[in-house]
Amino acid sequence: MTMTETSSNTPAGELKDGRIVGIAGPVVDVEFPRGALPELNHAVEFDITLEGETVTVLAEVAQQLGDGRIRAICMKPTDGLVRGTNVRNLGHGLTVPVGEKVLGHIWNVWGAPLDEEPEGYDEMERWEIHRPAPAFDALEPSARMFETGIKVIDLLTPYVAGGKIGLFGGAGV
């Protein structure tokens, strides 16, 4: 089953919608018109209506399958999703807000505030989550310790301020 293009005179570079052709839990296969395939790591979104409530689900393109199809990973549950659902290509990757205004707030993985919306949220600078690493000579060395407030962590595995930290805990931690 192939998606047919509805308009042959669309301008080059225009983003076109696709439709869902396969669902496997949080992974969806989406078919797009010829020449309108989203790039890897770009975001697509679609709406799910379940029990009278409409939820917009954001997904990230993880694989290009060929024949105008992509495989995307959803960032929310896909309960109520059906094949044939319209999918919008956003034309860019997932973005999160950056800068001084993000400090002191709690954020989800999509860059939306969970506690309260900071002043000027709509005008905040946003960066894509997939971007090149900074040049090595642009990094500033630091010997200052980042205090987590967890005595065992601070004693046995102290973290350097300004670096990347991966801290995971299970039940009872």
Q: How far is CA 25 from CA 28, 73, 78, 159, in A?
A: 8, 9, 7, 37
CATH 2.40.10.170, domain 18-92, yes or no = yes
Question: pLDDT digits over 23-35, tens only?
Answer: 999 999 999 998 8
Q: Token digits for 83?
A: 């094949």
Question: CA-based diameter of the chain, in Å?
Answer: 65
pTM here? Answer: 0.71
Question: pLDDT digits over 11-55, tens only?
Answer: 556 889 999 999 999 999 999 998 899 999 999 999 999 899 999
List the domain boundaries for the chain: 18-92, 94-131, 135-167
Separation between Cα atoms, residue 25 and residue 27, nearest integer Å: 5
Task: Please report the pLDDT score of residue 123 as a whole number.
Answer: 87
- For the chain, percent of residues with pLDDT exceeding 90: 46
Q: Token digits for 164?
A: 């990347």
